[in-house]
Chain A
Amino acid sequence: MNPDKNNLNNYIYVGTSLFALAILDVFLSSFFQINITSFLPSFLSFIFPLIVGLLGLHLIRIEFSGIKKLDLINKNINTNTFNALLTLVIIFIIIKSIPPIMSWFIVDANISGDTKEACTGSGACWTYIKIWMRRFVYGMYPNELQWRINISFILLVALAFVGYIPSEKFKKFLTLYYVVIYPIIAFILIYYLISGGAFGLEWVETGAWGGLSLTFIVSFFCLIFCFPVGMFLALGRRSQLPTLKYISIGFIEFWRGVPLITVLFMSSVMFPMFLPEDFFMDKLVRVIIAISLFEAAYVAEVIRGGLQALPKGQYDAAKSLGMGYWKMHIFVILPQALKLVIPGIANTFLALVKDTPLIFVVGLLEIVGMLNLAKTNPKWLGFAMEGYVFAAIIFWIICYAMSKYSYNLELKYKTER
């Protein structure tokens, strides 16, 4: 009994009501634990909404019905039986999963109180997150000194937006500012304000840094360092001088071939052996160098892709104007190549941010490390789930925002060819 246009209204009427009945059945059983088909055997009762829904969708699958909305639905979610089945399964899963998720996150969750005992509901214990919030954000940094971290970050963010202010006249200095001056300011800020030890500020050792702020510090510096190193490596790999070329290739392939965790192992146990005995290098500095070199190799390969994608004519044209190697690259090649590789660079930076939790290997505790520390605290046992969900949400927001931003950047710099 294939539906056709002759009895259009009847088919739609029966079909939609069957479909609605299926949805209603799942909805009631999911939200109110009412099973309206309890008179059926349990298995039949379980697949009842699927059968009824399929039948309903089958009845409203009428091609060129002339009703715009119906055609739209049929085209998008109801092209054949298999598609209809998948559609129903997805809708049912969504309806079924809303109540448990809502109850865990909000309805049965607790946020009041200061101790574990305040968490009486069967849902999440947000009290745990609330109490440990400072540790998750600032690590072991002393509570009364945390304003220093806040001020540094506010200043750094503010300074990052300087690029939007100046007039056309100063625009040409922006690259210089972002590549050279800004990193220096950032380093001075972090060195003197967060680390302290001068101007009457109390010194805080890097071992006490931690939490989300450490995630930001590590990713920030690695971002700044890995980019220029990667650019030089990419140029080196495409160089016509054999020594430069093979050293770059060796360097890039070495770092790309090993996992980050072994690189961090190297920086913590093997690297001190290579330094003079009385020479001390801070753990955090070693980690930042290690991650920067590691990510630089990936950045180099991405930039090389951009360099290779440029037509040879660009090189020839620049040379015919009498430009030397550096002039040609700075004014002609790199601006175009970098524009091409924005998505690739953004992906590498995203990978970098997602790799920062690995620094737990050398004993630095950023947010994921702090979570693992907090969940072993005897007063707060059994809240691993809340902690991981919390960290996952934070990382997800950061990474998703970064990828959306890079997508916008890509659109902005897309020049017609």
Chain B
Amino acid sequence: MNAKVRKIIPQILTLAVVALIFGFFTINAQTNMENRGIEFGYGFLSQESSFDVQFSLIEYDGSHSYARAYLVGLLNTLLVAFIGIIISTILGVVIGIARLSPNYLIERSATFYVEFFRNIPLLLQIFFWYFAALRALPLPQDADAIMGVFFLTIKGLFVPRFVWENLDIFLYSILAAIISMIVIKNYARKLQENEGKQIPLLYISLGLFIILPLLTFLVGGVSLSFEIPVIKQLSTTSFVYEGGLGIPPELIALTLALALYTATFIAECVRAGIQGISKGQKEAAASIGLTPNQVLKLVIMPQALRIIIPPTTNQYLNLTKNSSLAAAIAYPDLVLVFAGTALMQTGRAIEIVSITMFTYLSISLSISVLMNWYNKRIAITEK
């Protein structure tokens, strides 16, 4: 009896406190909104936004709704996160392996990189790239072409744009190549398990991946040409690039800073993962006659990845959340477009901040759920 009461009382107390706090906030919010004449609701999302966004992946201008502005911001955030994750993964893996290099100089340089970039606030790095480093670039009219087609100027990086014809056929061919690669891989595994035969899987897949898309160029009517940016004079002092693809300096600075910063953490994950595998594993694998490549592929990597992937996913999440620092240099991400401009215009603080937080929360939670599922799948089943 006594024990039961002791279990129930703290729970009731906590619930009461939480309910009180929430109730207090709700009542205050209601009176505050009544006093200011605001009505709570998400109806404003379909209203015309009447503000412009500098950089957008989808068609957008002031006549579109707030909901579309939200989508623009979200896509821009995801774009930065996507590019940042790719660059930081490549860099992180290279640096992480370099930190374990037997070469003293390489190991030291990798350590220097990690210690240097990890200990400086990300915001400061973003500011440095945007306000100090990229501002030192030449004006559009003074810029020299890199390899004849790239132009790196203070207004951003201008690269050739791909002009596709029948792009869908090309994409289908890539899809077909991937599917046939999976089929062949399964077949090869079965063949090895049942008959002990091996087929040159790598060459077959590579061949498929190159030949199938290539065929579409020859037979499928797919063609690819480049539209090279050309400088054009508007007036005596103002020049712009026409054609090609312009990457704004905000995007460059943000992605660069995020990638360099996150790479240090990924490098540490990779290092810990590789170090976490005992030497005995490698020796045992070698002693049963596996080649060094097979040792890496069949014994080391499956175990190392089990240690590396969970913390690395965490870093990807951090990178996505850190991309919200874009607001500091006016890159139009979710926070700047929606929690900044849209909030200023509508004054609907509660609705907009809650939508923004909910968006980030759902990205984080869905990745967490995926991660838990993955962890369960790869966990070593002990006897």
Contact = CB atoms under 8 A, between A and B. Distances in A.
A347 to B, nearest CB: 10
A360 B329 CA distance: 12
A33 interface: no
Given A270-B350, A391-B124, A77 B31 contact: no
Interface in B202-230: none
Interface of B: 7, 10-11, 14-15, 18, 24-25, 28-29, 31-33, 35, 102-106, 109, 115-116, 118-125, 127-128, 131-133, 135-136, 321-322, 324-325, 327-328, 335, 339, 343, 349-350, 353-354, 356-357, 360-361, 363-365, 368
A261 interface: yes
A364 to B, nearest CB: 13
A262 B360 CA distance: 9
A274 B30 CA distance: 8
Contacts of A396: 116, 119-120
B337 to A, nearest CB: 13
23 contacts: A86-B105, A240-B7, A258-B360, A259-B324, A261-B327, A262-B324, A262-B357, A262-B360, A265-B335, A265-B353, A266-B357, A269-B343, A270-B354, A273-B32, A354-B121, A368-B123, A368-B124, A375-B131, A385-B133, A395-B119, A395-B121, A396-B120, A403-B119
Contacts of B125: 392
Which residue, of B18, B25, B32, B103, has the highest number of chain A Cβ atoms within 10 A?
B103
Given A357-B123, A368-B124, A258 B349 contact: no
Contacts of A361: 327
Given A75-B102, A368-B127, 18 more contacts: A76-B102, A77-B103, A90-B106, A240-B7, A244-B14, A253-B365, A257-B361, A258-B321, A261-B327, A270-B353, A276-B31, A354-B120, A358-B123, A361-B327, A388-B124, A396-B119, A399-B119, A403-B119
Contacts of A191: none
B121 A400 contact: no
B105 A90 contact: yes
A90 B357 CA distance: 45
Contact of B25 (A274, A371, A392): A274
A16 interface: no
Interface of A: 75-77, 79, 83, 86-87, 90-91, 240-244, 247, 253-254, 256-262, 265-266, 269-270, 273-277, 350, 353-358, 360-361, 368, 371-372, 375, 384-385, 388-389, 391-392, 395-396, 399-400, 403
A350 B364 CA distance: 22
Given A76-B104, A77-B105, A258-B357, A270 B349 contact: yes
Nearest to B24: A274
A395 B339 contact: no
A240 B127 CA distance: 47
Contact of B132 (A269, A277, A385, A395): A385
A333 to B, nearest CB: 18
Contacts of A79: 102-103
A273 B127 contact: no
B325 A247 contact: no
Contacts of A257: 360-361, 363-365
A259 B343 CA distance: 18
A350 B116 CA distance: 14
B121 A273 contact: no
Contacts of B104: 76-77
A273 B356 contact: no
Nearest to B130: A384
Given A262-B353, A354-B122, A360 B328 contact: yes
Contacts of A392: 120, 124-125, 128
Which residue, of A253, A256, A257, A357, has the highest number of chain B Cβ atoms within 10 A?
A257
A91 B108 CA distance: 12
Nearest to A254: B361
Given A257-B365, A273-B29, A274-B25, A399 B105 contact: no
A302 to B, nearest CB: 13
Nearest to B360: A258
A91 B109 CA distance: 10
Contact of B321 (A247, A259, A368, A395): A259
B356 A262 contact: yes
Contacts of A83: 102-103, 106
A389 B128 CA distance: 8
Contacts of A274: 24-25, 28-29, 32
A353 B353 CA distance: 25
A339 B69 CA distance: 48
Contact of A76 (B25, B103, B120, B121): B103
A388 B364 contact: no
Q: Which 5 A-B pairs have the closest CB atoms?
A: A257-B364, A399-B119, A259-B321, A243-B11, A257-B361
Nearest to B77: A259
Contacts of B343: 269
A392 B125 CA distance: 8
A385 B133 CA distance: 8
A273 B11 contact: no
B349 A269 contact: yes
Contacts of B122: 354
A375 B135 CA distance: 13
A83 B106 CA distance: 9
A273 B14 contact: no
Nearest to B105: A90
A356 B124 CA distance: 11
Given A258-B321, A269-B353, A277 B131 contact: no
A54 to B, nearest CB: 15
Contacts of A273: 28-29, 32-33, 349-350
B333 to A, nearest CB: 10
B321 A277 contact: no
A86 B124 CA distance: 31
Contacts of A266: 353, 357
A261 B336 CA distance: 11
Contact of B124 (A240, A241, A259, A357): A357
